[in-house]
Structure 1
């Protein structure tokens, strides 16, 4: 299957992308991984992207699209892929359609992870990270440390990242609503959107997504 995964910050896209790609036997293609891989390998696209990033500018759509095209042409993506973080706006969605047409391919589904805005704020603003090891993550509601402000694993101080503050989260949501959310309507016009709730245990959400994708594929 060829799938685009969308949803607001805090919807659990990263977690679900990895799980769904594994269950479906297709590669998980994220823009973050694409940038890191191209920059670390010092490809021409990586050098170009880094020049924009070093200057504090956004990487142009055409560079992101070229990286995605290169990745989708790899042998492991022959039977499908799951795109996470791309496309981010309607112009990228149009470019993706054109790219797929050129390769005589089509998308099978656009999976929209739906979560109430206040839940997004609660999920992200409640995160606390260990200063000693950022892989040690806690939450003031969902995964409390035994001692407030102290990492259960190593005893390090827990803190809230600046980009996890409520004000920053709400700004990120505004960006999502203005830039990325319009692609849902774009794909609805193509009857590709499958919307599921991203509330509940991780395993339940994965199963919900798999069942929804199965129904979508069977209906075509």
Structure 2
């Protein structure tokens, strides 16, 4: 960082490092912990937080009405992710807690356990090493808005809250057929999920609270408490229909919890537009720059400007222009690196088009620390490209561009003076398209996260597709915990 410049110049490499290692999220979590726990020794507290290295571990709540499949989904998730399952039942029957005596006292009196005591019990369980380092799946908690608020006040903040739902008629039918393995705790059903193993069937028992009256009462209680829970966890909640095969429900839940939550870290778009000649890269770049204020970096125009202003790199580029040979890749990458490392590109983001054209150029970009976070491939057929380019014309007087089919000149006088650029002849276009087709497959393989868009559409439609991927807070990649 150069302290002699005002405003301070922050090298782009710092931003790339922070983005790659999610430093902003880490600092946010640490600050959140300080504000919640208010430790007497903040530095020691932060050091301990860093030693835990638990920012990416799963912290999942599975909620839903009775018989929605919470237990089954939670148990399957725990097996898949290798994390402990926390439920009201195993919290109340545990012997590790210093609060066990208090809990048992309420149970003996047949009184409701206070939400504050539940929150303390949960907090104490989450401080055990398996939860601290590995994460957790919490089933059926919180059951009310008051408990949700108590959990949040204690710093128990899940990353994903999955809410299962189904019609009450379906839930009552499910509950009546529920059977539980007294050894493993696995849940089965007399109609939908009856075990094939005879020994397992002998261990099944009907829970004591599955009567229609009791189920209806619990459903009413759930519907009464749900709006309050929604107020507490609304931004984190994912609703999933439980009235479908259990394997399908689990697949949707697993997909959801493996995607990291959207980050609040500052984001500068670094967009790369690839595609054959005539695919509309220049137009889309101009539209993006106009709407979002990002820097439009056209590789060809950048080379011409360097020659025009006679920079040192421009002097190296000029002989290539005079001879008609392509500019050496290392010179292009050096010029590109200088432009993209300016402060405006770092703060506002950039959209690049015209480079790279092949895998070798893409590798040079990577070695120069040029890392786009959105790569779009605009695809067109060769026939469409020929139609777009071979009918393009230029008015040498006004500089206006026309197209014989889509945008003809307004007057005969203007039409008569239109000229075609040599690169738009049919022979030249075919050569360029053939060259792109030969090199594009390796380029697409290099950018594995590339987004493919049909470029043979209205330009505004193409822009809307590109825009939808830019404004969404991706790419937080899927994480296998």
Normalised by the shorter chain, which TM-score bucket?
0.7 to 0.9
Whole-Å Cα distance in 2 between the matches of residues 61 and 110 of structure 1?
20
Alignment partner of 1:127 out of 382, 392, 401 = 392
8 Å contact from structure 1 (residues 115, 198) kept in 2: yes
State the Cα distance separating 1:24 from its structure 2 match.
Answer: 3.2
Post-superposition CA distance 1:140-194 (Å, at most 9, x none): 21112356x642xxx6522333321222211110121223553122112xxx201
Q: Indicate whether 1:20 and 2:20 are aligned.
A: no
Q: Say which SS state the counterpart of residue 159 (structure 1) adopts.
A: coil
Structure-to-structure mapping, 1:12-91, within 5 angstroms: 12-79=280-347, 80-91=349-360
State the Cα distance separating 1:107 from its structure 2 match.
Answer: 2.3
Where do 4+ consecutive residues of structure 1 move more than 4 Å?
none
Long gaps (5+) in structure 2 = 1-268
8 Å contact from structure 1 (residues 132, 156) kept in 2: no
Report what 2:383 is aligned to.
118
* Structure of greater Rg: 2
Q: Say which SS state the counterpart of residue 397 (structure 2) adopts.
A: coil
Give the direction of change, closer, same or farther, for the CA distance of 1:69–1:146 in structure 2 (3 Å limit).
closer
Taking structure 2 as the reference length, what is the TM-score of the superposition? Answer: 0.41
Q: Say which SS state the counterpart of residue 217 (structure 1) adopts.
A: coil
Aligned residue pairs total 208
Q: Point out the more displaced range, 56-65 or 175-184.
A: 175-184
Long gaps (5+) in structure 1 = none
8 Å contact from structure 2 (residues 365, 371) kept in 1: no
Report what 1:209 is aligned to.
466
**RCO comparison, higher one (Cα < 8 Å, 6+):** 1
Whole-Å Cα distance in 1 between the matches of residues 326 and 427 of structure 2?
22
Give the direction of change, closer, same or farther, for the CA distance of 1:110–1:140 in structure 2 (3 Å limit).
same
Give the direction of change, closer, same or farther, for the CA distance of 1:78–1:172 in structure 2 (3 Å limit).
same
Whole-Å Cα distance in 1 between the matches of residues 343 and 293 of structure 2?
13
Q: Point out the more displaced range, 121-130 or 19-28.
A: 19-28
